[in-house]
A and B are shown apart, each in its own frame.
Chain A
Amino acid sequence: MAKKKEYTKKKDVRVDFTPMVDMNMLLITFFMLCTTMIKSQTLQISLPSNEKVDKTEQNKVKQSEAVTIIVDSDIDDNGVPTKDYVYYYEGMPNIEDANKDGKIDNNIMKEIEFKGNENGKAQGIRAVLQERNKQVVEKITVLKEDWKAKKFSSNKAVNDSVYQARAKEIRNDSTLTRPVIIIKATPNASYKSLVTALDEMQINNISRYQIDRINGTDSAMMADFLIARQK
């Protein structure tokens, strides 16, 4: 018996896996090309209802709190926006022309850019908004430090939710000086510029903002500003 076993010594069975790997690679390529890994994000918007608009709610905004941002874009021959511009003014619009020279005496409109942070400091419109919303931003910064150090809870989910709730409280705290931002877009403005403007509200923790239509006063101020800039 023992001798026989030696004869039937099994040969090493080797399966060639190369075709299997080839096939798998093909399948992986297919799945990689056909899938979306990145899920889109959403930006929440709530517009005032039509009845409110008719009551011209926006006029009740205190002059000291109001900042109007106007976004505009250059468009090419096909109507595709190319370059974005941002203008803003603080307080109420003023198109008084006392000496009747066709120019607005004291045009408070300024041109600015969407710039973001540079060297850890806010630039462009963000710097303006941050300055206006200083009290809230300062409190949120302190809160953020606590959140990063997990001071509210060692559990990540609880820590996050406490932070979110407190941040919301601070943003809506009426005892702080908070600005009201009115975002307006010219007919040429790109969708991107509006989203960027809305984004700045989030970044600067501004809770009170609205999207509004551009009106005659704004157009007049813009036209006057652009003429003055060209000179």
Chain B
Amino acid sequence: MKVKTEKKAPFIDMTAMSDVTVLLLTFFMLTSTFLQKEPTTVITPASVSEEKVPEQNLVTLLVTKDSQIFLSIAGDRDSSYSSEKMREEVLLNVVEEYNKKHPNKKIQLTNADVAVFGNTHMFGLPLAQLSEWCKLPTEKRDDLLDPAKNPKAGIPIDMGKDVENRNEFQQWMLALYNTSNPNLAKAVKSGKGIAIKADATTPYSVVQVVMDNLQTLKMNKFTLMTALKTEED
């Protein structure tokens, strides 16, 4: 005789599971800082240094293998000197200097252009292409900054010994002193505010060019971004 067993869908109580996931979610939301979009992926070399990268008032110089330089500016997090504002101020400073030097080829920027720049985490293009770049749609802008798609990306740099006629990289760096945020200038001066970020496999000669330029600007102190490595005693 067959016993008719009534099949019942087993009911699993998901409440506890839900509690756990919500907790995890809260943890991730609170601890996270979002990965910022960078033009190229860089794996920094490892070092035993335990000093953390400052979160505010920091200028990051991303150096690619082909010696293209990208600049990223972070302002104060919780004051009126936000990153966006700092970027806009630096941009206006640089453009002003540029227009003084090139009276025939002045860069004209609208407020919208400046705002676009303010929202860009990392920038690296010759100044001459700037206003054109600001008017492109978002994807096109990213493409133009990507060294894989645009070999001419990056802030122009040379050996940098010519103090009279500074290259664009030096102009950008000098503009950092002239913002309304005294903390940024202070951080740059003390060296804690400049971080060079380069891939471990970059030839040193490429990084050296950047260091030489900083040295010419009397920014003798700076930091190198590294990943943590532990050494046993």
Contacts and interface: CB of A to CB of B under 8 A. Distances in A.
A72 B222 CA distance: 23
A35 B28 contact: yes
Interface stretch (A18-26, A149-157, A167-175, A216-224): A18-26
B45 A45 contact: no
Given A47-B220, A191-B204, A192-B201, A39 B52 contact: yes
Interface in A172-200: 185, 187-196, 198-199
B1 interface: no
B204 A193 contact: yes
B178 interface: no
Contact of A42 (B22, B199, B225): B225
Interface in B174-188: none
B204 A49 contact: no
A79 B52 contact: no
B224 A50 contact: no
Contacts of B225: 40-42
Q: Give the size range of B's interface with the partner.
A: 35 or more
Contact of A49 (B33, B218, B229): B218
A interface SS class = mixed
B25 A27 contact: yes
Contacts of A25: 21
Contacts of A15: 15
A46 B191 contact: yes
Nearest to B220: A47
Interface stretch (B78-86, B139-147, B208-216): B208-216
22 contacts: A16-B14, A18-B14, A24-B18, A28-B24, A31-B28, A35-B28, A37-B31, A39-B52, A41-B227, A42-B49, A42-B52, A42-B223, A44-B221, A144-B233, A188-B203, A190-B204, A191-B198, A192-B201, A198-B47, A198-B224, A199-B49, A202-B49
**A-B pairs with lowest CB-CB distance, top 9:** A17-B14, A35-B32, A24-B21, A31-B28, A42-B223, A192-B200, A192-B45, A195-B45, A46-B221
Interface of B: 11-15, 17-18, 21-22, 24-25, 28-29, 31-35, 44-53, 65, 191-192, 195, 197-208, 211, 214-216, 218, 220-229, 231-233
Interface of A: 14-18, 20-21, 24-25, 27-28, 31-32, 34-50, 71, 73, 75, 79-81, 116-117, 120, 144, 185, 187-196, 198-199, 202-203, 211
